[in-house]
């Protein structure tokens, strides 16, 4: 069962709602990941920006610094080729530089090649599952000891309706998102009573992003909400003052920018 996200927009959060929080966001170079990073930093978080696009990361870094937000950290990494050792090294560097981690947002995604399963290209299948499912497992596994040291840690998996309900021709993308939901529920079920780690997933719905345009090239996107608008709705999930249901499968109710 999924439920709409019953959360206030970030505009209603205190300006310091994420003060002192160390937040790692994958897919931070563009789209929802970048929007969420900007908002988290604006509310006091130290954001760790992870993406393969170094140039875009550097531009976002400069934007956050110019705004006077807490100094972010850059971590350029291609999840497609990253090994378990690479993820372990990332966790070690986070512990050395920041002393721990308070939130992990799995925002990176690769669309793959929309096609019927009977004709799906095997190479595209492997690459898409590596980025969308294997990498979140490896990164979460590496970061769990850091998150366990937080007073109130959050692991947020960005999901999709295609993974929750099934969708023809979405191939490895839909299968990976379904696996991501299973990963989330398993991880949530494994947390002992009193664990500081809360795990949930959220389907942000259609967003006006490059990924959406590549998935639905003939779609009119003018009425879709921007990444900034959806990030406002998601941001409270990272704030310790916001109660989050362990294993919750949230969704963002259809919305628009309202003008």
* Two tokens, residue 44: 């006091």
Q: Out of 61, 75, 120, 173, which one is annotated catalytic? A: 173
CA distance 49 to 88: 17
Can you read off the two tokens belonging to residue 130?
A: 């590596």
**Which positions ≥6 away from 6 have C-beta within 8 Å?**
none
Angle among Cα 44, 232, 243 to the nearest 5 degrees reads 75
Query: Is 216 considered catalytic here?
Result: no
Closest CA to 75 of 90, 56, 60, 97: 90
The phi, psi pair for 150, rounded to 5°, reads: -85, 155
21 neighbors 44 (Cβ within 8 angstroms): yes
| 76-81-87 Cα angle (round to 5) | 60
DSSP code, position 161:
H
- Give one DSSP letter per residue of 75-109, joined into a string: EE--TTT--HHHHHHHHHHHHHHHS--SEEEE---
Name the DSSP class of 132.
I
Q: Which residues are catalytic?
A: 173
């Amino acid at each position: 069962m999924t439920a709409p996200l019953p959360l206030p927009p970030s505009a209603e959060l205190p300006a310091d709602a994420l003060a002192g929080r160390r937040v790692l966001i994958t897919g931070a170079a563009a789209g929802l990941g970048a929007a969420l990073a900007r908002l988290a930093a604006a509310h006091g978080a130290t954001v760790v920006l992870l993406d393969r696009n170094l140039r875009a990361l550097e531009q976002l870094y400069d934007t956050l610094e110019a705004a006077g937000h807490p100094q972010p950290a850059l971590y350029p990494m291609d999840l497609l080729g990253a090994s378990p050792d690479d993820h372990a090294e990332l966790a070690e560097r986070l512990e050395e530089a920041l002393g721990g981690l308070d939130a992990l947002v799995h925002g990176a995604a690769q669309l793959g090649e929309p096609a019927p399963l009977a004709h799906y290209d095997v190479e595209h299948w492997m690459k898409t599952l590596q980025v969308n499912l294997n990498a979140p497992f490896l990164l979460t596994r590496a970061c769990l000891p850091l998150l366990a040291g937080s007073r109130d840690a959050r692991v947020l998996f960005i999901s999709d309706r295609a993974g929750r309900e099934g969708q023809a021709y979405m191939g490895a993308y839909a299968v990976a998102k379904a696996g991501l939901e299973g990963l989330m529920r398993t991880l949530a079920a494994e947390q002992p009573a009193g664990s500081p780690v809360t795990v949930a997933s959220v389907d942000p719905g259609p967003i006006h992003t490059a990924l959406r345009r590549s998935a639905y090239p003939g779609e009119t996107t003018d009425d879709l909400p921007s990444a900034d608008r959806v990030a406002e709705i998601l941001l409270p999930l990272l704030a310790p003052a916001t109660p989050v249901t362990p294993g919750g499968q949230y969704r963002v109710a259809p919305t628009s920018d309202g003008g």
